[in-house]
Structures are given as structure tokens and as C-alpha cells.
Amino acid sequence: MNGQVVNKVSTRGRSRRRSRLSGIAVIMLALVAVGSLYTAVAAPSSAQESEPANQSMKVQEGRDLFLSGCSTCHGLNLAGGAGGPSLIGVGASSVIFQVESGRMPLAAGVQQAPRKDVRYTTEQIDALAAYIDSNGGGPSLPSGSLTDGDLQLGGALFRTNCASCHNFAGSGGALTYGKYAPELEQASARVIYTAMQSGPESMPRYGDNQLTVEEKKAITRYVRYITEAEDVGGAGLGRYGPLTEGLVAWVVGVVALVALTLWIGARA
């Protein structure tokens, strides 16, 4: 493509049509260059969000949230009480799993805490997790993206480790004594990853020596992949997220506008 453009530029002046074509080619090249630059600049900023700069403020916020929303069952000092177990040493991941899947705060004495609408924002959940973790740590989320693992590997590991309870399509299934393994469709990447780390109810806990961080990330990506199978609202664009969508919409839109302008100009 590059050689073609240079070629066209060097033979300019032959005809008006030629030079207009080369103009279009240069504009296209510039658009692609700007687009790539945009992806390169925009990508890293979202990756490094959760910097523990004001960790103590976060812990303080988490303490306030805990005292108002959780302490009636889990005790004022996390040691547990009549309504719920001790949370000392459960770790940030267990908190993220329970709260981000809407299981906590628990409503009433049910046999298995069901999934409900999430009551807290992601920031508040992280604050709760930071506070509870600061009183005796346990597993916490690894840094970086949770869904950049190997899809193929994730599929193989899911079939051997998880499908027996959750079904091959992640649609869940019944377990003994009226318990059930839920469908995985609504689980965010954080909920999938922390489920493996904390092993809620009768689900096994997968420590880093059973499934490495890379393997858990691979499974997380795979579960998101199979449960998002249909692409609502058009092409999936490789499911790389809003960045690609925006980029494609932008490039396609601008190219269409430029083409329209040139066409109108040529008619005038």
C-alpha cells in the first residue's frame, strides 16, 4: 500500500482523477496512523486504575460501609455473630465474590445465599474488601487484566475442573441436598476469578498451586467467552471491548464523511 501511494504521488499531474485518488489514499493513511496512535495512547491508561495510593482512606471508607451494612450479622469487629460467620482472614477475594455477585448483604436465613442485584459500586466493594483484608489477609485479586489468558487452555481447564458442576455451557446444574451450581452468565470477570479463589459453598477452592494465576485467567476469559456467545447489537469485533468499537465507528464514519465531501466537490 505504501509503495502504491508513493508511486501515485510521484506521477501526479497526469490527470485530475489521478491526483484526487492519491489525495484519498493519503487521507486514508493518515486516518489509520491517527487511529493506531489513539489505541496505543488510550490502552494503557485503563489498565493501571487501582493504584493503592490512598489505601488508608479506602480502608476507612470500607469500615464505615461495613459498620452500616454488614456488622449486624458479622459482628462489630468482624469476629462473627449470631447472623453470620467471622470474616477475619477470608481475604479480599471472598468479599469481592460475595458482594459483587449480590450474595451479600444477605437478606434472610436461606439455605444458599442467592445471587441478587449488586448493592454497592465497584469502588465501595473494593473499600469493603480492603477493610476486611486489613484485619487478617487472605487471597486477593492479581494485578493486570483478568481476561487476557489463553482461550484454548481456558476451555480445556474449564471442561476438566468446572463443567462437572456448571455444565459445559456454564448453564449450571443441581447438586445434592437441594443445592445448586449456578449458571455463570451473569458473573463478571472479577466474580469468576474470586469464585475460584474463595470456593463458596460446596465449590472447591482453587489455590495458586492447583491452578496458577495464568490458568485462572485463562478460565476467566473462557467463561466470559462462552457466556457472551451471542453478540447483542451486531458484530462482535473480536470482543475486544468499547475501544475497538469506538475506533472502528470513528474510522468508518470519518472515511465515509471524507468520501462524501470529495464526491460533492467533484460534482461542483
Contacts to ligand HEC by CB under 6 A: 69-70, 72-74, 83-85, 87, 90, 94-95, 98-99, 101, 103-106, 112-113, 115, 128, 161-162, 164-166, 175, 179, 181-182, 184, 186-187, 191-192, 195-196, 198, 200-204, 206, 219, 223
Gap between the Cα atoms of 268 and 259, Å rounded? 14
Task: Name which of 20 and 115 has its Cβ closer to ligand HEC.
Answer: 115
CB 52 to ligand HEC: min, Å: 19
Query: What separation in angstroms does the CA of 110 have from each of 84, 85, 106, 113, 201?
Result: 12, 14, 9, 6, 13
CB 51 to ligand HEC: min, Å: 23
Task: Name which of 141 and 196 has its Cβ closer to ligand HEC.
Answer: 196
Task: Name which of 146 and 184 has its Cβ closer to ligand HEC.
Answer: 184
CB 28 to ligand HEC: min, Å: 44
Gap between the Cα atoms of 251 and 115, Å rounded? 41
> What residues contact 22, with CB distance under 8 A and at least 6 apart?
5, 8, 9, 12
Contact, 247 vs 38, CB < 8 A? yes
Task: Name which of 114 and 253 has its Cβ closer to ligand HEC.
Answer: 114
Task: Name which of 107 and 257 has its Cβ closer to ligand HEC.
Answer: 107
Gap between the Cα atoms of 23 and 15, Å rounded? 13
Of 219, 189, 211, the C-alpha closest to 93 is: 189
What cell was used for 150? 489463553
CB 83 to ligand HEC: min, Å: 4
CB 77 to ligand HEC: min, Å: 14
CB 27 to ligand HEC: min, Å: 47
Task: Name which of 8 and 166 has its Cβ closer to ligand HEC.
Answer: 166
Gap between the Cα atoms of 61 and 51, Å rounded? 16
